[in-house]
Amino acid sequence: MPSFDVVVIGTGDAGANAAFATAEAGRTVAIIDKLPFGGTCALRGCDPKKVLVGAEELVDWTRRYAAHGAVHGSVSINWPDLMRFKRTFTEPVPAQREASYSEAGIVSFHGAARFINESVIAVNGEHLQANHIVIATGARPGELRIVGAEHAITSDQFLELENLPSNVVFIGGGYISFEFAHLAARAGSKATIVHRGARPLPRFDPDLVERLVQATREQNIDVDFGVEVTGIERKGGSYVVHAADRRYDADLVVHGAGRVADLDGLDLEVGGVATTPNGVKVNAFLQSTSSPNVYAAGDAADSGGMPLTPEAVLTGGIVAHNIVHGNERVGDFAALPTLVYTTPTLAAVGAGEDEARAKFGDVAVTTGDMGSWYSYRRVAEKTAAYKIIAHKGEDRVLGAHILGPGAEELANLFALAIRYRIPVSDLRETLFGYPTYASDVQYMF
């Protein structure tokens, strides 16, 4: 039976970082994945998605300028060619990742892993002895639990479509549905978002979400709230999405109703690994609360954070450090931006307004519509707004919420300010290059 200091299950950003860091520290390491090496972000998530969003932004930018007569002619998305371009990013990843593991002395295994006991993992009929096991299996789409759920494709499958149908219904009001609905609409399809809750995107500022919903509808995307989908019916080559009091005809139905930790088939109970509905139950050091030699990172861990790539990278590094040096490091996710890559982009970092008031009491909240500011008039984008939350007594930013072009980069700037407690007075006085989105920061307080 081969023996390793560390066996990592999952080759996404969390698992890769844990594997490389422990190998660099001199540990013998094996890594396992049942899917092509690379994980969600590189193969089925943020990286390929942003390639597609680039084409969406080009179309939208051209249309905005054309509305002012500044450009003539039209730009359209050629979906098959766009997907071919996307594959130039994703197809090389598995082989590149496996080669990098080999170079680092990490032994790779392809196949489904499962626990035999607290320190033995089985893969393809072979048993691997491990002093420590890292669960970094990422997330998968949750179950829809409706009649005909098998007719809905997942976000993974959407990113592999050879052709985009003309009428697409998205079930769920999270970031997946909004991002792909905006992409589909700019690519020429009719998109509809159906959400059972009272409002979508619950992790984001409700005032800015309301503005984004309005901008979404102005793109001829239907957004329906408070609608409980009861089933999907196939009719020939198309579908009918049924709700209590209405129906939606569709050529394609996309499951955008959330993701859950991908722990199926691991036989965690055999390994004594306790779980919650949100993943492996861990302590502050990302160590299993029930099996001390097991750690979890990324989306597979119930760490209280968000399912974001930077968090996966960070938690993979934390796990590696704690395996090598003992439990010392914990995660700090307070200044981690989260983004919705619609057009325009919605961004949030730090505390929301309600959270800040509950924790700090009297806080300073400044809001504004930036649609008339030069930075946004220059790109003919009327949907732009902000909400900044600051601590009155300590003169520091607690949270920043931004909707508009460049929101993702402004969120990074505010993340730096929140993490290192840069005084609001310093942000007001900092001289940024002009004209840039950052040069508008001084007007946001």
Band the pLDDT of 138: cuts 50, 70, 90. very high
Q: Which CATH architecture has domain 344-444?
A: 2-Layer Sandwich (3.30)
Within a 13 Å sphere around the CA of 99, how many CA atoms are in the beta-carbon half? Answer: 5
Percentage, residues of the chain above pLDDT 90: 94
Q: What CATH fold (topology level) applies to the domain 149-257? A: FAD/NAD(P)-binding domain (3.50.50)
Domain with CATH 3.30.390.30 in the chain: 344-444
* pLDDT for residue 269 is more than 80: yes
Task: State pLDDT tens for residues 383-415.
Answer: 999 999 999 989 999 999 999 999 999 999 999
pLDDT of residue 308: 80
Q: How confident is the model at residue 333 (pLDDT cuts 50, 70, 90)?
A: confident
* 187-239: pLDDT as tens digits: 999 999 999 999 999 999 999 999 999 999 999 999 999 999 999 999 988 99
Q: Where are the CATH 3.50.50.60 domain residues in the chain?
A: 3-45+85-141+260-325, 149-257
Residue 350's pLDDT band (cuts 50, 70, 90): very high
Greatest distance between any 2 Cα atoms in the chain: 71
The CA distance from 387 to 20, in Å, is: 39
Could you give the dihedral angle defined by the CA atoms of residues 270, 273, 279 and 285, in that order, rounded to the nearest 10 degrees?
-160
Q: Is the pLDDT of residue 307 over 90?
A: no
pLDDT, one tens digit per residue, over 162-188 is: 999 999 999 999 999 999 999 999 999
3-state secondary structure of 194: strand
Closest CA to 344 of 307, 388, 385, 378: 385
Which of 326, 402, 294, 297 is CA-nearest to residue 20? 297
CATH of 3-45+85-141+260-325, one of 3.30.470.20, 3.30.420.40, 3.50.50.60, 3.40.309.10: 3.50.50.60
How high is the pLDDT of residue 9?
Answer: 98
